[in-house]
Amino acid sequence: MKALTSLSKYMGCYDVWKDIVQRYHLKWSDSNKSIKVFNAIFQGEGNNYSSMLRWIKEVVSVLPKDYQNIILFNTLTGLRPNEAQKAIWLIKTKETEYVDKDRGILKHYQFPETFLRHTKNAYLSIINDDIVEIARSTPDKEQYLVGLRKRVIKNNYKMNMYYCRKVFATFLRNKGIEPEIIDLLQGRISSSVFVNHYYRPDINEIITKRIRPVLDELRKELFKTFLIL
């Protein structure tokens, strides 16, 4: 990428090269990425599983019930905050189209303009009746993140909603769920040959027998300290 950029400038077609980069979402590799990941795992003070779970519990304990449920829903689905906001609104407004009660999933893929973007996607989320009810018990409006932020900061906490997604992924991995499945639930499809050509698990069995029990454990962990529902 660096060489092509220099070449395009030399040939006087840098604008064309920039257009290609933007159109095909090309990115420069980060030579320091490995050490950054290492430091994040081993030296991430205040950003490990225990501290993130503690933030969730403490913040939930000081919020009104409907806003408590926003954070709980976000943690139990592993969605990005803006995706969770959209998911909750669809549960409230288009539940019959969006919620597959037989399979116990939210069908994000049925709303591609909302959930399938160039780099950040959400394909499905695994739910049960409790998770759907948590969504129903959130603020009855399409946009609520600004209001949530104000309430969190008012109680002297930082707005660390991204902790919810990290706790979800870490909890599932600690319980033995494969990274490929966690990636799928968080909207990532690996480019590896293994995933693209060979990995074809019985996803319905994994959802029913493995992931849903783990999500029940996560829900109990979240409710261990605070009786919210």
Q: What tens-digit pLDDT sequence spans the chain (229 residues)?
A: 888 889 988 899 999 988 888 888 787 766 566 666 556 656 655 578 999 999 999 999 999 989 999 999 999 999 999 999 999 999 999 999 999 999 999 999 999 999 998 788 999 999 999 999 999 999 999 999 999 999 999 999 999 999 999 999 999 999 999 999 999 999 998 878 898 889 999 988 999 999 999 999 999 998 875 544 4
At the top level of CATH, the class of 49-223 is mainly alpha
Going by C-alpha positions, the residue among 208, 61, 193, 60 that lies closest to residue 126 is 208
Residues 6+ apart with CB under 8 A from 201: 178, 181
CA dist 162 and 177 (Å) reads 20
- Give the per-residue pLDDT at 34: 63
- Give the per-residue pLDDT at 37: 59
pTM of the model: 0.80
CA dist 211 and 184 (Å) reads 12
Domain ranges of the chain: 49-223
> Do the beta carbons of residue 8 and residue 16 sit within 8 Å?
yes
Sheet holding 99-100, edge to edge: 99-100, 105-106, 125-126
